[in-house]
Amino acid sequence: MIPLTVAPNLIQQVYDRILESIVDHSLKPGHRIRQQALAEKLGVSRQPVSHALHLLHRQGLVVESGRKGFQVTPLDAVRIRQLYEVRGALDALAARLAAERAPLDAASRGVFEAALSAGDKIGAQTPLSDLIALDLDFHRALYRLSGNPAIEEMAGPQWPHLRRSMAAVLTDADYRTRAWAEHRTIAKHVLTGAAPQAEAAAQAHAFVAGRTTEERLRSLEQAA
Domain limits, the chain: 10-72, 77-223
Question: Does domain 77-223 bear CATH number 1.20.120.530?
Answer: yes
Q: Which pLDDT tens digits describe the chain residue by residue (224 residues)?
A: 666 655 658 999 999 999 999 998 899 999 999 999 999 999 999 999 999 999 999 999 999 987 768 999 999 999 999 999 999 999 999 999 999 999 999 999 999 999 999 998 998 899 999 999 999 999 999 999 999 999 999 999 999 999 999 988 998 999 999 999 999 999 999 999 999 999 999 999 999 999 999 999 999 888 86
Neighbour-count burial of 87, counting CB atoms closer than 10 A to its CB (0-12 exposed, 13-18 middle, 19+ buried): buried
Task: Tell whether pTM > 0.85.
Answer: yes
How far apart, in Å, are the Cα atoms of 104 and each of 101, 135, 144, 187, 224?
A: 6, 22, 12, 12, 48
**CB contact set of 223 (below 8 Å; sequence gap of 6+):** none
Hey, what amino acid is at 156?
G
The DSSP output letter for 72 is: E
10-72 CATH choice from 1.10.10.10, 3.30.70.260, 2.40.110.10, 3.30.300.30: 1.10.10.10
